[in-house]
Structure 1
Amino acid sequence: MTGSSSRMLALLSILQTQRDWPGGVLAERLGVTPRTVRRDVDRLRELGYAIRAVKGPDGGYRMAAGSELPPLLFDDDQAIAVAVALQGAPASGVAIDEAAERALATVRQVMPSRLRHRVDGIRFAAAGQDGAATRVDPAVLETVSAAVRNRRTLRFDYRRDEAPRRSQPHAIVARAGRWYLIGWDLDRDDWRIYRLDRMSPRSPAGAVFLPRDLPAPDAGTFLAARFKGSGTEDRWPCTGEAVIDLPLEDLLPFLGTDTAEELTEGSCRLTVGSWSWTGVLASLARFDAPFTILGPEALVTAARVLASRIDAATRT
């Protein structure tokens, strides 16, 4: 790649941040004169990029939406990022595997040989969801996303419900290969979480609504909280502590959301969360090692009750 082409890619990458850039600042960042910046901007305009001049004491430039799709120009890091993202499409949970494979082949074809070699050297298995029923139709994702963006009420068939659901969609969240809609259910008068792979939106979209405040800092926190059985905070309803007779390296691969603090070479303080105190005990027992409960008292009580149940179950 020539110095001029490399500089134009760098300029394009800066302008794509969608903010105003004074000409002098661009020249300083690129290590050229303002005149060279103006010349490079003119070349990008000839390629179809809509770059408008910004008025002001220093003058400047801003990327605007173009009426036509210009040639796609990526710097090396962007090209690798696109290739990796396309290769990982099966793990996204959206049924775009074939389209992503064709897109990757197209992008690879126009890459210079040095980049093709780098992309070809990145190979990994991106496992999708098992079974067609767990894959999200791209049309469903597009329809629901439009309803979220435009604040339009959604009517959709869901699972085996006989009657269609009505929801004011708030946000879409992707988590572990599945896609979820968080919305205010108009019939249940409460916040609900829906899986997109189980939704069949009805058209047309419903009335515009005024957005409600989500009872959590953001949609991701709200979803994580509900998965842990909490109302609004990303935390387990029950959390206990114990000292377990295992070295830290034996615990780390299996902790998940739990935490461990090394006390000695062969013991750790373990903090475990779950939906119930019995669940906390089950998490402690899964390590198959001696442990001493530190608290709280509710966990100690649950342990005594569970011990009685086990004792009764093993009597002959």
Structure 2
Amino acid sequence: METTTNLVEHRQVRKRSNLWDRITYHKYFYLMLLPIITWYVIFCYIPMYGLSLAFKTYDFSKGITGSPWIGIQNFRDILNDSQYVNSLMNTIIISFGKLIFHFPVPILLALLINQIARQKLKKIYQTIFTFPHFISWVVLGGIITNILGSQGVFNQIMGLFGFESMSILTDPALFRPLIYITHIWKEIGWDSIIYLAALAGINPELYEAADMDGANGLQKVLHVSWPGIKSTVAILFILTVGLMMNVSFDQIYNLYSAPVYIVGDTVDTYILRTTMSVGSNFGLLAAAGFIKSVASMFLLLFANYVVKKFGEQGLF
């Protein structure tokens, strides 16, 4: 019995020793990771203790730790708020809309750019499509308002041709399509970069072999390019689904207004508006964010499960 125990302890010591040897050998890589790990610890993990506010009534004099517990009362109150329920549904609908309409587009763009033979032309197209990402939504929101607003350029042109003006920014039926279109236009180039990088890593001999077999462009995409990037697509799909509840706050906040709250108000914008009006009720707002975080966790687990079912390697 003692021999077995000593053997187990010896193996554990060897594992710890081997791990430390690997860390020491790759010490510069770990030093490069240190700033990123520090950022996540400070801004992502330490603030998590504030989630306890969802189960408390916040008292300014006692702080977060000293505030009294009230159980799940905040969750009951927030779920009875019709505005919050509406914002939660809008968040889900807009998120799924972006997943359906936006997620495949950067993949298609990367595949199309990869078919361009001339490297200079390829870089020009990539630069053109990527540039809008660097325009902030504050600036872009002002541009879109000046174009599509009630007195914007679009309606002035419509008036010149005798058509009635359209209030696109305040029309609930048009607001969500506007969100999808502007998001695609702004982010398509940036999101295609990682797919282009994956395509660049495919062995050129595979394309040469396909050419020798008489494959056309579509066949090369289906049998060479797609198999080479599908694992990357799977990982990014998991990450995208996990972040679905974090709908682009900047975009919606800079484009929406009271007439489209019914279709455009999300959990993040609801929390901001409610904070401005009832800022002292931090427990209620923490409960709203807690629900969103739990939903994000289940979506991430579900996406990872689906990807593994299709034969790809998930995140865990």
TM range (shorter): under 0.3
**Greater strand proportion:** 1
**Greater helix proportion:** 2
TM-score by length of 1: 0.21
Q: Higher Cα Rg: structure 1 or 2?
A: 1
Instruction: Identify which of structures 1 and 2 has the higher relative contact order when contacts are C-alpha pairs closer than 8 Å and 6+ apart.
Output: 2
TM-score by length of 2: 0.21
